[in-house]
């Protein structure tokens, strides 16, 4: 199941859409829409390499958003988003700052594509026990670009054992 989900995420343009479909298939909540719960803390700075991938200079403003993506009572992933506000609409920026709407749903009108940078497995089936909901399963880094190919966000997503839960159908 871990391989199935990670393959779907790597092949998709939107992790939000994949997780919402996964949530519905697994019966994790009556309403399978994700909620992005903000995680308080200091902003993580953007590296020079990340700025290069986003095709921005050292002075271009970047915003940081760390969230837990939840479906019902399940925390499916934790995500760090660095995004270029000047490449989003004012409405998108407001939604990202003031709501719990997942990033993928907010930027959907841009018809984004994902370029995966890495996938790292954090849990292996050789371990004696099955992973619990809080265990980290795998990590994905990607750059999101508009349909015109303009990069506007870098994401770092850590998926948890909660994705393996099975709800009532």
The yes-or-no verdict on residue 167 having pLDDT over 60 is yes
- Tokens 């839960």 belong to residue: 165
Listing from the earlier edge strand, what are the strands of the sheet with 35-38?
Answer: 35-38, 63-71, 74-83, 151-160, 136-145, 113-121
The yes-or-no verdict on residue 157 having pLDDT over 90 is yes
User: 127 falls in which pLDDT band (50, 70, 90)?
Assistant: low
Contacts 24+ apart (CB under 8 A), 51-59: 53/117, 53/143, 53/151, 53/154, 54/82, 54/84, 54/143, 54/151, 54/152, 54/153, 54/154, 55/150, 55/151, 56/84
User: 128 falls in which pLDDT band (50, 70, 90)?
Assistant: low
Contacts 24+ apart (CB under 8 A), 127-132: 130/161, 130/164, 131/161, 131/164, 132/161
User: What pLDDT, on the 0 to 100 scale, is given for residue 110?
Assistant: 96
Average pLDDT over every residue of 83-100: 97
User: 165 falls in which pLDDT band (50, 70, 90)?
Assistant: confident
Instruction: State phi, psi for 112 to the nearest 5 degrees.
Output: -70, 155
User: What pLDDT, on the 0 to 100 scale, is given for residue 156?
Assistant: 97
User: What pLDDT, on the 0 to 100 scale, is given for residue 96?
Assistant: 97
The yes-or-no verdict on residue 130 having pLDDT over 90 is no
User: 3 falls in which pLDDT band (50, 70, 90)?
Assistant: confident
User: What pLDDT, on the 0 to 100 scale, is given for residue 148?
Assistant: 95
User: What pLDDT, on the 0 to 100 scale, is given for residue 168?
Assistant: 60
User: What pTM was estimated for this model as a whole?
Assistant: 0.92
Q: Could you report the per-residue pLDDT of 32-77, keeping only the tens digit for each? A: 899 999 999 999 999 999 999 999 999 999 999 999 999 988 999 9
CATH code of the domain made up of 2-164: 3.40.1410.10
Q: Where are the domains of the chain?
A: 2-164
User: What pLDDT, on the 0 to 100 scale, is given for residue 34?
Assistant: 95
DSSP 90-146: HHHHHHHHH----HHHHTGGG--EEEEEEEEE---TTSSSPPPTTSEEEEEEEEEE-
């Amino acid at each position: 199941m871990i391989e199935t989900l990670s393959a779907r995420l790597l092949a998709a343009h939107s992790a939000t859409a994949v997780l919402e479909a996964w949530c519905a298939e697994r019966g994790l909540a009556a309403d399978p829409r994700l909620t992005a719960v903000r995680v308080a803390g200091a902003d993580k700075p953007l590296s020079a390499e990340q700025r290069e991938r986003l095709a921005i200079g050292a002075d271009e403003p970047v915003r940081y958003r760390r969230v837990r993506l939840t479906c019902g009572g399940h925390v499916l992933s934790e995500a760090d988003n660095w995004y270029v506000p000047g490449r989003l609409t004012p409405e998108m920026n407001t939604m990202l700052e003031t709501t719990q709407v997942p990033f993928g749903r907010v930027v959907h009108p841009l018809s984004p594509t994902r370029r995966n940078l890495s996938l790292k497995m954090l849990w292996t089936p050789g371990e004696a026990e099955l992973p619990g909901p809080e265990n980290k399963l795998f990590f994905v880094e990607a750059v999101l670009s508009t349909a015109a190919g303009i990069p506007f966000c870098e994401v770092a997503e850590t998926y948890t054992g909660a994705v393996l839960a099975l709800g009532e159908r």
